[in-house]
Amino acid sequence: MYTMYEALARERMHEQTVSAAQRRLSQHLVRARRWDRLAAYSASRAVRSERRLAEQLMADYQLAG
């Protein structure tokens, strides 16, 4: 009888271990996607900012020249 309970307990512990590993992997992937989106947003903002700066410099140059 004890061996059956031991087998059930081992199976349950294994399921919990696998479930915890899956949760960690899922959380890691969510964080990675979040950082990817943030990096893409930041890169696009930098491009827009550089473009605006270049336009302003050209306008200032045209006014001065």
pLDDT digits (tens, 9 = 90+) for 28-54: 999 999 999 999 999 999 999 999 999
Going by C-alpha positions, the residue among 3, 25, 6 that lies closest to residue 14 is 6
Which residue in the block uniquely carries the two structure tokens 């949760």? 23
Confidence of residue 2 (pLDDT cuts 50, 70, 90): confident
Q: pLDDT above 90 covers what percent of the chain?
A: 83
Rounded CA separation 28/36 (Å) = 12
Confidence of residue 14 (pLDDT cuts 50, 70, 90): very high
- What integer is the mean pLDDT of 3-30? 96
pTM for the full model? 0.62
3-state SS record for 19-47:
HHHHHHHHHHHHHHHHHHHHHHHHHHHHH
